[in-house]
């Protein structure tokens, strides 16, 4: 084998080894990435089943239920369009309360009585009154805008011309 051919073989082996290492790293990243979803995305079926992911939104007022003498509890997370019940066993962060932003990590269970359930492994509460994760803020803003448009359409006043025509009754031509 000539020195040039030996060098080319060496370069090819190095490129093959680097390519293999990159492929292994990408596979490991794909398996360990935790995606974020809001309740609307989960209800729409975009969240993975059987895999761990993050769920974020606001803790619904009046939804926190604790089992006396145990660490087990449940609460609802909402994006103001949909709600998902979260089951959690453990100590909650000090800043956890109803009406506050929260992100939970865990897995989705099958729906019970038509309501999605999520088993949380970890609960993260926002750290001050001004901070909200960007994903949660964006999904809440989108749901709020959709709800405001729906309410505006439902409560839109009827024009004077339409009221006059309605009051006069149908006209025969």
Please spell the DSSP secondary structure of 87-140, one letter per residue. EEESPPPTT--TTSEEEEEEEEEEEETTEEEEEEEEEEE-SSSS---HHHHHHH
Find which of 82-96, 119-133, 141-155 is predicted with most confidence, using mean pLDDT: 82-96
What band does 27 get if pLDDT is binned at 50, 70 and 90? Answer: confident
- Mean pLDDT across 167-172: 48
Tell me, yes or no, whether 10 lies in a domain.
no
Tell me, yes or no, whether 28 lies in a domain.
no
Note whether 39 and 83 are within 8 A (CB). yes
Tell me, yes or no, whether 21 lies in a domain.
no
The percentage of the chain sitting over the pLDDT mark of 70, rounded to a whole number, equals 80
Tell me, yes or no, whether 74 lies in a domain.
yes
Q: What do you get for the CA distance between the two ends of the chain, in Å?
A: 102
Owning domain of residue 149: 36-153
Element (H, E) at 86: strand 83-89
- Mean pLDDT across 125-137: 65
For residue 118, the domain's CATH number is: 2.40.50.140
Instruction: Collapse the DSSP code of 8 into the 3-class scheme (helix H, G, I; strand E, B; otherwise coil) and give the result.
Output: helix
As a whole number of angstroms, the distance between CA 52 and CA 35 comes to 8
- Mean pLDDT across 73-84: 89
Tell me, yes or no, whether 18 lies in a domain.
no
**pLDDT for res 167:** 47
Find which of 30-44, 94-108, 133-147, 159-173 is predicted with most confidence, using mean pLDDT: 94-108
* Dihedrals phi, psi of 58, to nearest 5 degrees: -105, 145
Tell me, yes or no, whether 128 lies in a domain.
yes
Tell me, yes or no, whether 97 lies in a domain.
yes
| pTM of the complete model beyond 0.75 | no
- Mean pLDDT across 40-69: 86
Domain count, the chain: 1
- Mean pLDDT across 73-83: 89
Tell me, yes or no, whether 137 lies in a domain.
yes
């Amino acid at each position: 084998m000539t020195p040039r051919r030996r060098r080319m073989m060496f370069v090819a082996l190095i490129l093959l080894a680097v390519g293999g290492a990159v492929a292994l790293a990408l596979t490991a990243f794909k398996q360990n990435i935790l995606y974020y979803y809001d309740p609307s995305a989960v209800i729409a079926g975009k969240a993975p089943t059987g895999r761990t992911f993050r769920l974020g939104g606001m803790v619904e007022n009046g939804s926190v239920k604790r089992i006396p003498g145990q660490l087990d509890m449940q609460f609802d997370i909402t994006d103001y369009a949909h709600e998902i019940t979260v089951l959690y066993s453990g100590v909650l962060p000090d800043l956890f309360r109803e009406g506050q932003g929260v992100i939970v990590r865990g897995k989705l269970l099958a729906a019970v009585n038509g309501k999605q359930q999520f088993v949380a492994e970890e609960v993260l509460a926002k750290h001050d009154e001004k901070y909200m994760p960007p994903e949660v803020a964006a999904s809440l803003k989108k749901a709020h805008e959709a709800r405001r448009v729906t309410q505006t359409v439902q409560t839109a006043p009827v024009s004077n011309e339409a009221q006059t025509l309605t009051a006069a009754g149908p006209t025969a031509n």
